[in-house]
A and B are shown apart, each in its own frame.
Chain A
């Protein structure tokens, strides 16, 4: 058994800045998924990364900036146990200054009063961990980790 990998970054953070609106988010997700570090992650985990980032970025577009728009920066760093993400925007702060609890909306199986929204933060909290939120000088900083299991060794690794 080789020793467990050090819990340190495999390389520096990868960052992109995009406009916070749905079609830009879609295009950004495509390029984030196609490039390291996300392209090196197993496909089933890549789908989780895509879903969590989609929810976080669409929240910035729909809540922090709407009805206007603005920019959002995404930084990703692959650690041995997961993908550490930081999302930064200059929109409105989170309500009550905290990241939402993300409870599953209540519904009744008869189908009359089904929820059409409120799933976003539930999905984020189901799939990511170590969620931190800070509001500093007009900037929102949301940090989270998407657990991925051990990294697949790269051909260039010693």
Chain B
């Protein structure tokens, strides 16, 4: 699981470089996100622009990351491709996360918060 991390003031951006978050990588994704976000503070933006496929295991892992960040730290999402967006919409998890169309929009929103 390839993740690219960038921290700007209080926003940590994590870009998923893999094309899939699925049953084969969901646990690894969750563990890598735990390492990246450990001890930090402020908002986390998960950039899914390059993710073409997300199954229920991948969705569960993203929800798990939100839970491990706790109520004080936001996990925002951006760049949902059509298949990924469909999984969030069908499961109504699109109502649980703040979803931005692009990474720039997500960072702009975090900066104005």
A123 in contact with B91 given A50-B53, A111-B71 (CB within 8 Å): yes
Number of chain A residues close to chain B: CB under 8 A: 29
Please, how many angstroms separate the alpha-carbon atoms of A61 and B95 in the complex?
30
Q: Decide yes or no: A22 and B96 within 8 Å by CB, A58-B55, A115-B63 being known contacts.
A: no
Q: Which of B64, B82, B90, B96 meets A111, CB within 8 Å? A: B96
* A104 interface residue per 8 A CB criterion: yes
Nearest CB in chain B to that of A105: its residue: B91
Point out the residues of chain B lying under 8 angstroms from A44, CB to CB.
Answer: 82
Flag A119-154 by CB within 8 Å of B: 1 or 0 each.
110110011000000000000000000000000000
The answer to the question of A117 belonging to the interface, with a C-beta cut-off of 8 Å to chain B, is yes
> How many residues of B are in contact with the other chain, CB < 8 A?
25
Stretch at the interface among B8-16, B17-25, B34-42, B99-107: B17-25
In the bound complex, do residue B91 and residue A104 qualify as a contact, i.e. CB atoms below 8 Å apart? yes
Q: Is A51 an interface residue (CB 8 A)?
A: yes
Give the distance to chain A from B103, nearest Cβ to Cβ, in Å.
23
Within the assembled complex, what's the spacing in Å between the Cα atoms of A126 and B64? 23
Q: Determine how close the nearest CB of chain A comes to the CB of B17; give it in whole angstroms.
A: 17
State the CA gap A115–B55 with chains docked (Å): 15
Taking a contact as CB atoms under 8 Å apart, the answer to whether A58 and B23 are in contact is yes
With A109-B96, A119-B56 already in contact, the answer to whether A62 and B91 are too (CB < 8 A) is no
Q: Which residues of B contact A (CB under 8 A)?
A: 20, 22-24, 53, 55-57, 59-61, 63-64, 66-67, 71, 82-83, 86-87, 90-92, 95-96
